[in-house]
Structure 1
């Protein structure tokens, strides 16, 4: 039987414990990787030269939380995906509560790239990103990081590390290190 959605309470509790869900053929699976991907929010965050130039050119209009569901659906629009209707419904509820956000790149042709994630305390949990035009998701990531830095966010969790994220200074930490980082980022969050 397919779930309509995961309760907000269950999602928030899971994130606060370092666990996140993914759908697989109608079933919700929960993950807590042994090695966790993070992107630094200090001087170690690196923007490749060509991407810095693209950001300065202002080719895309950045919007935040303008089309959250559209970003989720675009992230799901690939051959293999962990984003199904249950995930979309659940994260849309978090979005309605102000706990999930999308960073979007738009041009005259519409939504061209972006990412979404969950925000709790001083942590942002990146969920997925997509591009319809070259580097649009990367531009969205640069804007996300700048915004998180302004807000005093301490942890940008990417779940797993990829070569794509390593170019920004992304790195892996052990589950134990991640739990310490998470605890610090959530120390003012009431259970």
Structure 2
């Protein structure tokens, strides 16, 4: 498949035209309108420092149905200690900047360059990007963030300063979205970490079919009120 180059016009080639590695197109910008259009069409940006903006739509796609979240015995035991509290949108900027920090233990850099961080902070102020935070003793120890459109949550990144802190945030998010009748959590690309928590691979076409209708559904914006606390059980 060819690699498409975006122009200034606000559009994308069909996601099913992506290359075998999932790369669809290059260029464009990270404006809120373009980002939202991308997610509605099963596309997301992913690039590193000194690279142009790259847009992806992998096949297969990793997703998590909220009702299918798996909690290991060890994680359940940790949750039952009741030492963590979970909040929504209380510290979005702190969460995304924590996600952007290099993974020192794995000797990895980060794909969350400053341009990306600024763009998702804009989406947060517009009410589309949300964070789930894990706290212990009033200290932020883990969390995740993503984009909500209709009844789909497009997960972007997670971080942990303590073991299992991001997993706890994902459990809380899944429980929350299950109660709200959400269709799926998009996990984008496959990792053993997410597979162990109940995520499954589906074809890109199946994913596109689901979100085509899911993003059109009415969303209750009150579920992202920063004054609420999420339950882990």
Question: TM-score when scaled to structure 2?
Answer: 0.75
Matched, 1:125 2:157: no
Equivalent position of 1:24 in the other structure? 48
How far the C-alpha of 1:35 sits from its partner, in A, is 1.0
Equivalent position of 2:165 in the other structure? 136
Count matched residues: 185
Name the SS of the counterpart of 2:135 in structure 1: strand
Contact 1:23/1:87, CA 8 A, preserved across alignment: no
Output the aligned Cα RMSD: 1.6
Matched, 1:71 2:69: no
Map 1:1-191 → 2, pairs under 5 A: 6-26=30-50, 27-42=52-67, 44-78=68-102, 79-108=108-137, 110-188=139-217
Contact 2:69/2:171, CA 8 A, preserved across alignment: no
Show CA shifts across 1:70-104 (max 9, x none).
11111111132110111111100111111111111
Unaligned runs of 5+ in 1: none
Question: TM-score when scaled to structure 1?
Answer: 0.91
How far the C-alpha of 1:62 sits from its partner, in A, is 1.0
- Give the Cα separation in 2 of the matches to 1:157 and 1:21: 14
Unaligned runs of 5+ in 2: 1-26, 103-107, 219-233
Judge which range, 124-133 or 49-58, deviates more. Answer: 49-58
- Give the Cα separation in 1 of the matches to 2:216 and 2:149: 11
Task: Return the index of the structure with the highest Cα Rg.
Answer: 2
Show CA shifts across 1:41-79 (max 9, x none).
22x321112112212222212111111111111111113
- Give the Cα separation in 2 of the matches to 1:66 and 1:154: 25
- Give the Cα separation in 2 of the matches to 1:185 and 1:56: 33
Name the SS of the counterpart of 2:166 in structure 1: helix
Q: Which has the higher contact order (CA 8 A, sep 6+)?
A: 1
Whichever structure has more strand as a proportion of its residues is 1
